[in-house]
Structure 1
């Protein structure tokens, strides 16, 4: 029988101590700094009710680029720098790619069926595979260049006829492009029911996914209250919005299936998948909801960016003039710009970048959920934390962008260009927007075509200049608040390029 000496015992104890230190070291790490909360409720009273990205950016000036916020049962980690977002959300995407369970918007209304809120797993990966085939790369998108150019030309005609409805025309055009790609559906020239349906559902998505918008997200037990119970009005809202979402996904999908049975379906994302996949109930679910994700996600982001372009041109005539001069030299005045002209229009391309930076489409984006404990920059990022990349703060960081409150496309030109905002405005890692190539191409072409034939300026009424204000809506997807601008053809020659030949006779 072997007896333990004092030395043996000491070495064994030291080994146990080292192992204990190793396995418990994570837990002794501190969270990132942030506002000091109160017992039990944490930072509930500190949380902003709107424009969260501005508050988080202000906190960043006090506590640094990585901030933690403590809510009852939930840690929030805010990243105010692109470097940290890349290091965590991209380089460690294996543990930073999940989504949280958003009770009201995800489970109760049903947006967790779309890519935006789908948890990380096989369904998410299948959605991404499907969407990558159609628009995940620039080469895949090339087959749709003619469609994008054709619909943008129609957009110009609508602007010429009723320029006061610019926002409505932007929505119609974005919807027309994506409905044709997703479902082979050609929109009606006047009011289109499908375009209206997606607009309604996406507006509701922005509201229902805003942190703190519904008390049931903070107190989940409320979900079991009947709709007639005092304080359960959210149940009635959820019922209505759930039906709006169902119609948005079901109606165009069923239309494709009907057209396929009739032999009249145009080629589309949905029809190709229905023809090529071995269909099961789960496969059909994934095809339907990946198409709905493409439709709902792409339309709203593109609308926001193009409306921001009109606001930027109204407020910054010097940038507009410079872009028009470049187009006149490169393209001339006998035709409209095309996607093929892009490489020859560096200032217009820089103008697009500045539109995306100046008013980011998703200022805070949707949260990533970390699926395992992590140590980053000496801080503990606990499993289950919600991690937000503050895209607005990244885009307005004065250490990265000189005079960030100024609209200045020249910042991307010359021998020392500032970072391309397209590297972060569409998100990070495996949760990056799959439609970024479509959005980038559509917005560029809209900018180039509009500038080639229209002058955008401030409205003058009774000799008084109406000054637009650069203010955006709060929510997951942010849009410029409604503003007025004057949109007029640059010349009679420009007007002749807009109208089809038949309309000029």
Structure 2
């Protein structure tokens, strides 16, 4: 009798379960955590929504390092910055791998992008490409003109359609990333490539969520045929893979066509294509460049920037006193006859603190991206098994009462040292990742957000909506994605004066 695909899937499941039963006991004391069930482990303890809340509870109960398992897979949760730095930064040679994510990585194809590339030569080569494009202060300074020009355009768009501020933020972030990466200037308003990037990143946010797709816990399910009952997730993976491939290939092809015509604008991709090493396989280099470029949005630069700027508008709606204080500083340092520029950053200390507080208060990536241990390790007396998935509770860290006073309140002053107290911990210590997997676009995101914060506060008064004579104070509610965005909220956005409008409408 011929062996069917279903037989093969059942055989794979049986072998996988046998491996769980026969796996060796740990050779050391595991970190504390919830009590596991036989064979199943903590599969019912691992949260599927708002994981950071559950992990914060574990931190209070078990300490900065906690442990759980699910169907033989080990999970280590880190709940404070010091522990994360000691493990992921100082032992980066052990903890710089990524776990194999069956849904997002293997089936959809995100394994080819920098965030999910396994530790090795390809990772090092890709990071080298990106560092060469935006890894130094002088390189970011060379982009300041673009950031300022795109932010001025953003202000004009918001002035014309303030009710669409979230849409304007996405359009501007997409424009910046596409110009820097591909030399592609999106069309005003609707642009097919920007739309494609947004769709791809929305799909990414869905499939990368931990513990949502059973195939991530039971890998043999990847072989389930499309027609099998309940296999709708596999059809989704196939469709999402096509979208991702198109998003990576289309702008790359655009650059090649422009280079052939001699009309290509300077960009990350055009520069890398011009510098290709003749000693290496051209197709392999093109593939690496293609996915390195895709990391500019797939590496969270796009979503992080969007979330941070939208968080500014939310925070200013809730905390009008912060807005007034920042505007007073801008008026004193810059005046009213021009917009703030990067040359003013060193003098705008409170505005700079607002940027830092946006990164902290919003906690844009609640769990960051998972790391994996390459080998067995003993850390702070606990045994960390090889292959453990290391989860960093970034949102919990950024709202830790032991580190930040009154952590749920938006208080930029916390980052300005006084004679009475030192400045609190810079959120950039953890909000962009750790060790060798830290986001290579962190300086790019920081500069883009600073321009948006300083220039938006110079031009706009962001206020609370009044409905039936009742002032609406929105709640600080965020979505439950890997890059978390504020949920839609009511606010008003008006120019501070006619002279402020003139600063952006005169161009």
Q: For the superposition of Structure 1 and Structure 2, which TM-score range results when normalised by the shorter chain?
A: over 0.9
Return the offset for 1:151.
0.3
Aligned pairs, how many? 476
Report what 1:281 is aligned to: 283
Report what 1:23 is aligned to: none
Q: What stretches of structure 1 of length at least 5 have no aligned partner?
A: 1-25
What SS does the corresponding residue of 1:337 show, helix, strand or coil? coil
Question: Is contact 2:317–2:473 with CA below 8 Å preserved after alignment?
Answer: no
Aligned counterparts of 2:161 and 2:49: Cα–Cα separation in 1: 33
Q: TM-score, normalised by structure 2?
A: 0.92
Aligned counterparts of 2:319 and 2:411: Cα–Cα separation in 1: 9
User: Aligned to 2:498, which of 463, 471, 492?
Assistant: 492
Aligned counterparts of 1:168 and 1:110: Cα–Cα separation in 2: 27
Report what 1:293 is aligned to: 295
Q: Map Cα deviations across residues 65-122 of structure 1 (whole Å, 9 max, x no partner).
A: 1100111121100110110101000000001000011001000000001001110111
Question: Is contact 1:352–1:444 with CA below 8 Å preserved after alignment?
Answer: yes
Return the offset for 1:27.
5.0
Q: Write out aligned runs for 1:81-480 (5 A).
A: 81-278=80-277, 280-296=282-298, 297-415=300-418, 416-480=422-486
Question: Is contact 1:182–1:295 with CA below 8 Å preserved after alignment?
Answer: no
Aligned counterparts of 2:462 and 2:63: Cα–Cα separation in 1: 40
Aligned counterparts of 1:388 and 1:217: Cα–Cα separation in 2: 15
Aligned counterparts of 2:459 and 2:59: Cα–Cα separation in 1: 43
- Structure 1 segments, 4+ long, off by >4 Å, are none
What SS does the corresponding residue of 2:114 show, helix, strand or coil? coil
Question: Is contact 2:394–2:430 with CA below 8 Å preserved after alignment?
Answer: yes
Aligned counterparts of 1:311 and 1:275: Cα–Cα separation in 2: 43
Q: Map Cα deviations across residues 305-340 of structure 1 (whole Å, 9 max, x no partner).
A: 111111111111011100000000000000000111
Q: Map Cα deviations across residues 438-497 of structure 1 (whole Å, 9 max, x no partner).
A: 100010110000000100011112312223121111121111111121000011111111
Aligned counterparts of 1:357 and 1:138: Cα–Cα separation in 2: 23
Aligned counterparts of 1:456 and 1:328: Cα–Cα separation in 2: 16
Q: What stretches of structure 2 of length at least 5 have no aligned partner?
A: 1-24
Aligned counterparts of 1:295 and 1:210: Cα–Cα separation in 2: 17
Q: TM-score, normalised by structure 1?
A: 0.93
Q: Could you tell which deviates more after superposition, 346-355 or 465-474?
A: 465-474
What SS does the corresponding residue of 1:116 show, helix, strand or coil? helix
The alignment's C-alpha RMSD in Å is 1.1
What SS does the corresponding residue of 2:493 show, helix, strand or coil? strand
Q: Could you tell which deviates more after superposition, 29-38 or 329-338?
A: 29-38
Is residue 60 from structure 1 mapped to residue 62 from structure 2 by the alignment?
A: no
Aligned counterparts of 1:381 and 1:40: Cα–Cα separation in 2: 19
Aligned counterparts of 1:419 and 1:107: Cα–Cα separation in 2: 37
What SS does the corresponding residue of 1:456 show, helix, strand or coil? strand
Q: Which has the larger radius of gyration?
A: 1
